[in-house]
Amino acid sequence: MSLRVPIRALTTAARSSLKIGLIPADGIGKEVIPAARAAIEALGSDIPKPEFYNLDAGFECFASTGTALPEETVEALQDSHCALFGAVSSPITKVTGYSSPIVALRKKLDLYANVRPVVSVAENAQEKPRVDLVVVRENTECLYVKQETITSTESGKEARATRLITERASRRIGRLAFELALGRPRQLVTIIHKSNVLSVTDGLFRETIRAVPRFAENGRYDNIQIEEQIVDSAVYRLFREPQIYDVMVAPNLYGDIISDAAAALVGSLGLVPSINAGDNFVMGEPVHGSAPDIAGRGIANPLASIRSAALMLRHLGYLNGADRLDKAVDGVIREGQVLTPDLGGSSKTQEVLDAVLKKI
């Protein structure tokens, strides 16, 4: 099965070219984003002529220039049609002046949805996949607003973090989840929350999304089935019975964790793509991180970045090109002859890319 996520395409006029910003950023991003570019270039007339712009961002950029997200990068993206982001190496301890550029980009470009499909590749192209779900992650709020304080008390240091959940953000991420469900056979949305403990914040998220169908025109979502799961139970059931899920919608932190965990069900983070989507822009981003332990060794898996390119093109309405990328990746995985070490193989990044290009 090809990796199809039916998202309502951005409204675009006919183009003679497609302006694509490329932000490899850190680590293996520098290896997998060029692979995605090569795959896009192989599509020929199925998409407008691509024009690529190499842009800077990331921790390495911060170390050399003092800024993790140069204003020139933001301005270039605002003049582009879409973008691909590689990976960022964010330190686990506080570094004065540094903040994650991907989090900043999501806010600056209002990319409020992170859509992460997790689909296993069936041995036979005609068979249904064992895992076929989509995690829809709210992208702008929750603990990722990064409002933290630390104070000293008589008993020691005390750290606090602000968690933000708004009705507006919850409603629009819920609406996108329902739109996705409309195009899928099961038409099921599962709301992930922890409102048994966080009754105010998660309670607002849960209640707002449950109310989305009531405000839809002409009963648009009346046939969508709504279920819900407490987040810890959801993780347990994700591993025990992933087939119960279709579209999972979650606040920022839960969505991040669940989608990374779900990658284990299909073999590797190196297979799982995502897009950061807003109403006017889309940016593909492989779910894997910067993987500093293998950076520069030529063994990074390029398939998630190619699949992210497919998701990006699909969101822009270029369905034929997206299908060709998806089917090529599926074919390489199904044959199992040319795979990187994360999938049990011994092939190099370039060898996997070459195999995909042959199928495109």
Reduced to 3 states (helix: H, G, I; strand: E, B; else coil), residue 286 is coil
CA distances from 80 to 54, 72, 76, 91, 101 (A): 12, 12, 6, 29, 18
What's the total number of domains in the chain? 2
Give pLDDT < 50 ranges for the chain: 1-3, 6
CATH number of the domain enclosing 136 = 3.40.718.10
Predicted pLDDT at 12 = 52
Q: Are residues 228 and 161 in the same domain?
A: yes
137 and 198 co-located in one domain:
yes
Structure tokens at 43: 């599509």
323 is catalytic: no
* Residues 315, 205 within the same domain: no
If asked whether residues 116 and 241 sit together in one domain, one would say yes
Please tell me whether residues 80 and 122 are part of one structural domain.
no
Same domain, 179 and 324: no
Active-site option among 56, 112, 194, 246: 194
> Residue 1's pLDDT is what?
37
Same domain, 128 and 264: yes
Task: Check residue 8 and give its pLDDT.
Answer: 53
Domain with 166, as residue range(s), is: 112-277
Of the residues 224, 249, 277, the one at which a domain ends = 277
Q: Which domain-ending residue is among 256, 277, 298? A: 277
Active site residue 260: yes
The residue annotated as part of the active site, out of 256, 326, 330, 342, is: 256
Active site residue 256: yes
- Residue 141 CA to residue 260 CA, distance in Å, equals 19
**pLDDT for res 32:** 97
Mark whether 232 is an active-site residue: yes
Residues 96 and 210 in one domain: no
Token readout for 293 is: 């332990």
Cα gap 251→138, rounded to integer Å: 5
| 132 counts as catalytic | no
Q: Using the 8-state DSSP alphabet, how is residue 10 labeled?
A: P
Instruction: Name the active-site residue from 26, 56, 132, 144.
Output: 144
Please tell me whether residues 139 and 270 are part of one structural domain: yes
Distance CA 330, CA 355 (A): 11
Of 46, 260, 323, 354, which is the active-site residue?
Answer: 260
Residue ending a domain, choose from 227, 258, 277? 277
Residues 165 and 70 in one domain: no
Q: Which of 128, 146, 232, 279 is catalytic?
A: 232
